[in-house]
A and B are shown apart, each in its own frame.
Chain A
C-alpha cells in the first residue's frame, strides 16, 4: 500500500469535495480526506462560501437546510443545485504543505518497536518508555547537528533595545537587521562587554548592602545604561560629518590622517550593530543604532517544542533508527562491547549520510557560486 492515503484535494485544498445533484442534502466527511474528522467546518458550494444558517454540521456529516442568501447555488430546501461542486474545509485549517518529507515521532517509535525489538531482533526486549526517551533525545541531537531545525523570528527593536529569547530558543544561528530592500545584514555579538546578571548595591564606602533577611540588595546594572547610550562610532571607528570637513579647531593630525585607518580593529569596524545575550534572564540586547530596525533571529530549537515539530526528515530516518539502537544497547549491561561498537559505527555512518543528504549540495548551485572564483578581485 502506498504511503499517500489522502486525496489530492485534501492535500492541496485541505478539503473534501462532493457534487450536488439537487436531491442529496447530507454529505459525510471521511478519513480518506482528513486524518481526523474536523470538529467545525466551512462549506463552499460552487466556489461561494455558504451562510452558516443554511447548513448544520454534526461530525462527520454536513446537512443543508436552507438557501438564505445562497439561492444561486442552493435549492429552496437547501440541497446543492445539480452539478455544483461542494467543498467542505475544516475551520481554521493551517495552510501547511510538505509533510510527506517527514515521519512523525509517534510513527517512528511504532516502526522501531515493530522492526527492531523482539526476540531474534537487534534489541530482544525494551520498554516503549525507553524507546520514547531515546527517540526524543535523538530528535534533539538531530535538531542540533543533522537536520538543523532553524527557526526565524522577525521583530522590530523597541527603545528598550532588548527582546526576550524565543520560547523554544536553544542557541542562535544568526542575528540580522533587514534593510529597506529586504536584505539581511549580519549583527555580530559583542565580545567587549557583557550583561551582568545582578548589580550589587553598595554604600558610599563601597560596602555591600543587605536587607533585613540578610539578602544582598541588587539593582539595575550600570553597564546596561552605558551600553544603551554609548556612541557606537567610538567603538567602530566610523567617521562622522565633523571628521570629513575642515575645521580650524580640529587638530592638524586629524586632517592629515583623513582616509588613513591605521590600527583599526576589523572586527569592530562595521556599522551593523552588536548584540549581547543575558543568559541568566533570557534576554537579548542590541546596540543603540538598531533601535527601530527590523531584525531577524535565526535560532536552533530542539524539535520537541510542540507535537507538530516532533518529526524527522525521511533523509534522517535510518540514522534515527541507528541512533536509538545504539543508545539502547550502550545503556544496558547485557550487550557485548563489540556489538555496541558495531551499533556505534552504523550510527556514525548513517548520521554522516543523513547530514550529506540534508546539506542539499547541488552541483548546479555549487557551479553557480564557484563561477565567482575566476572574477578579478581588487584589493
Chain B
C-alpha cells in the first residue's frame, strides 16, 4: 500500500519545526522525496540479496521472521506487467522500466531467456543451444529487447517500474497565503496541475523514508543536527537488521 505524501510531508515539517529549525517548501520536499524513494527501492535489492543468502545458510526463519519474503513484499508495489507488440522481432523497452523480471509469451507458458550479447554468436551457431520457438532468447540494446528466433505477435514484459515522483499537491489561500494539501489528482486549482502523487513505497518503509528526507532536509536548511539525528536513527535500524 502506498504511503500518503501528505502524511510524510507533515511529519517531516513537524520534526523540522519542532525547534524552529526551518521550513521545507513543497517543491523541495517533492524533489527530495523522489530521490529518497529511488534510493530506498534500490537498497531493497541489496537487502534482498543479503537476506536470501542469510536465509539459505540456515539462519532464516519462517512466518513473521521471513525477511526475504518481507522484502519481496516491499518490492512488489513496483511490479508492473505489460503486453507489448513485437516489431521486426523487437520490443521497445518500457519508459518506466527500472529492473526487468521476465519476458514471457502472453499465456505465460513460455519464458524468453535473457542472454549475454557476447555469447550470442555461439548460441546462434550451436546446434544444441540455438534459440528455438520452444526456447526463445532475447538480448537488450539501448532501447529495444531483440528476440531470437524471429517472432511476431505480443509478449508480456514483467518488470519493476521506476516509481512516479511524489507530489504534494496543494491549494493556496488567497487571503492568508497558507498552503493546504489537496487530495485532487488533477485540476487547475491545484499546484501543480497534475495533482498529488503518493509514494509507491510499501507502508513499512515510511520511517526510513522520513529519515532519508530529513537527512537531505538538514542539508537544505543547513542544520547538521538534523543530519546527525537522522543518521543515528538510520544506523540503529541497520544494526537491528544485521544483528
Contacts and interface: CB of A to CB of B under 8 A. Distances in A.
B52 A128 contact: no
B123 A129 contact: yes
A56 B123 CA distance: 44
B46 interface: no
B135 A132 contact: yes
B56 A128 contact: no
A109 B134 CA distance: 11
A136 interface: yes
B150 to A, nearest CB: 18
| Chief secondary structure at chain A's binding surface | helix
A336 to B, nearest CB: 15
A133 B128 contact: yes
A129 B52 contact: no
Interface string B105-124: 00000010101000000010
Contact of B129 (A106, A119, A132, A307): A132
A129 B120 CA distance: 11
A137 B126 CA distance: 13
A34 to B, nearest CB: 16
Given A129-B115, A129-B123, A129-B129, A120 B56 contact: yes
B137 interface: yes
B44 interface: no
A10 B56 CA distance: 46
Contact of B115 (A106, A109, A127, A136): A127
Contacts of A133: 126, 128-129
Interface string A297-324: 0000000000100000000000000000
Interface residues of A, number: 12
Contacts, number: 28
B113 A127 contact: yes
A271 B126 CA distance: 46
B111 A128 contact: yes
A136 B126 CA distance: 12
| Chief secondary structure at chain B's binding surface | mixed
A2 B118 CA distance: 43
Max chain B CB contacts within 10 Å: which of A132, A133, A136?
A132
A132 B113 CA distance: 12
A320 to B, nearest CB: 15
Interface string A270-313: 00000000000000000000000000000000000001000000
B55 interface: yes
Interface in A100-157: 106, 109, 119-120, 127-129, 132-133, 136-137
B149 to A, nearest CB: 14
B52 to A, nearest CB: 5
A357 B93 CA distance: 51
Contact of A119 (B56, B115, B126, B137): B56
A346 to B, nearest CB: 21
A129 B113 contact: yes
Nearest to B135: A132
Given A120-B55, A127-B113, A137 B128 contact: yes
A72 to B, nearest CB: 42
Contacts of A132: 128-129, 135
A128 B113 contact: yes
A1 to B, nearest CB: 16
Nearest to B134: A106
A221 to B, nearest CB: 32
Contacts of B129: 129, 132-133
A135 to B, nearest CB: 9
A137 B129 CA distance: 11
Interface in B8-67: 52-53, 55-56
Contacts of B55: 120
Contacts of A109: 135
A120 B137 CA distance: 26
Nearest to B137: A129
Interface in B124-144: 126, 128-129, 134-135, 137
A106 B52 CA distance: 29
Nearest to A129: B129
A120 B62 CA distance: 14
Given A127-B113, A129-B137, A132-B135, A119 B52 contact: yes
Nearest to A136: B128
A133 B113 CA distance: 14
A28 B112 CA distance: 31
A39 B230 CA distance: 67
A119 B54 CA distance: 11
A128 B52 CA distance: 21
B88 to A, nearest CB: 23
A209 to B, nearest CB: 39
Given A119-B52, A119-B56, A120-B56, A128 B135 contact: yes
Nearest to A135: B128
A127 B113 CA distance: 8
5 contacts: A132-B128, A133-B128, A133-B129, A136-B128, A137-B128
Given A120-B55, A132-B135, A133-B129, 16 more contacts: A106-B135, A119-B52, A119-B53, A119-B56, A127-B115, A128-B111, A128-B113, A129-B115, A129-B123, A129-B129, A129-B135, A129-B137, A132-B128, A133-B126, A136-B128, A137-B128
Nearest 3 A-B pairs (CB), nearest first? Answer: A120-B56, A128-B113, A136-B128
